[in-house]
Amino acid sequence: MAIELPENVVVSKLDELASWCRKNSLWPMPFATACCGIELMATGASRHDLARFGAEVFRFSPRQCDLMIVAGRVVMKMLPVLQRIWGQMNEPKWCISMGACASTGGVFDTYSVVQGIDRFIPVDMYVPGCPPRPEQLIQAIIDLQDKIQAEGTIMGDEFNLPSRQMKKRALVELPVLPSLPPGFIPQLRR
């Protein structure tokens, strides 16, 4: 919904209206990989109903959605898939990293689990928990709605701000570790 406007036109109320529309009709794209996916389904089911917040339409097509909820651990084999789907979504789009595994790697500090998707994807909201209760996810969606209302613009240029374009501290590529000497087995502290 980007409109070409001449430079001397102020659209503050229109911005608020657009943000209000966008926040109350967030269409989630569930990227459910593991246990958090079940709590995501429970949040969408009848007991804790996510549809009352406007997020009724769980369409699995990235072209039709604007909120990607990454629920569950992301493995290095799955990360290119995640990046491709994030790239297929149209602006304006937001990302919620649900659960400890998506936010930081969780209990799985292993050779194959990405230690936080925010190393590779821009994330707007983190939901702690393993798995988070449905009420926590609903709170995250409400907080995201507040963020959209506060920052949103009708032309979607809240994402063009320098603060959003900077690589966050977590969004830094880590160096590949030098090869370890043979026989060296790093042990975790128990």
Partner 1 sequence: MIQTATLDKLKAAFAGLAVSEFRSQTRVVAPLASAAALMAYLKKDGGFDLLVDVTCVDYLNFRDAKDRFGLVYLLASTVTNERLTVRIFVNEPDLTVPSVTSLWAGANWLEREVYDMFGISFAGHPDLRRILMPFEFDAFPLRKDYPMQGRGERHNFPVLTRGRS
Partner 2 sequence: MPLEPATFAAEQEDAQDYVWSLNFGPQHPATHTTLRLVLKLDGERVIDAIPDIGYLHSGFEKIGEHLNYNQYVTVTDRMNYISPMANNVAWHGAVENLLGLEIPPRCKYIRTIVAELARISDHLLCNGAVGLDVGAFTYFLYAFNRREDIYNIFESLCGARFTNSYTRVGGVMRDANPQFVDLVRKFVQTFPKTLDDMDRLLNRNRIFIDRTKGVGVFSKEAATNTSCTGPIARASGVTRDLRKDEPYLAYADFDFQVCCATAGDCFARYLVRNAEMRESLKIVAQAIENLPGGPVNVDIGERTAIPTKQAVYSTIEGCISHFELTMSNRGFVVPNEECYSAIESPNGELGFYLVGDGSEVAYRARCRPPSFIHFSVFPQLIRGHTLSDVVAVLGSLNIIAAELDR
Which residues are near partner 1 by CB under 8 A? 76-77, 79-80, 83, 86-87, 109-115, 119-122, 159, 164-167, 171-177, 179-180, 182-186, 188
Asked whether 107 and 188 are in contact (CB, 8 A), the reply is no
Largest CA distance in the chain: 69
Partners of residue 97 on adjacent β-strands: 70, 126
Per DSSP, 155 falls in state T
- Binding mask 79-118 toward partner 2 (x if CB under 8 A, else -) reads -xx--xx---------------------xx-xxxx-----
Residue 114: which of partner 2, partner 1, none does it interact with, CB under 5 to 8 A by kind? Answer: partner 1
Q: What spatial distance separates the first Cα and last Cα of the chain, rounded to whole Å?
A: 53
* Cα–Cα distance measured from residue 186 to residue 141, given in angstroms and rounded to the nearest whole number: 40
* 64 lies in the site for partner 2, by CB under 8 A: no
Residues forming contacts to partner 2 in the complex (CB under 8 A) are 31-35, 37-39, 41-42, 45-47, 60, 72-73, 75, 77-78, 80-81, 84-85, 107-108, 110-113, 130-131, 133, 187-188, 190
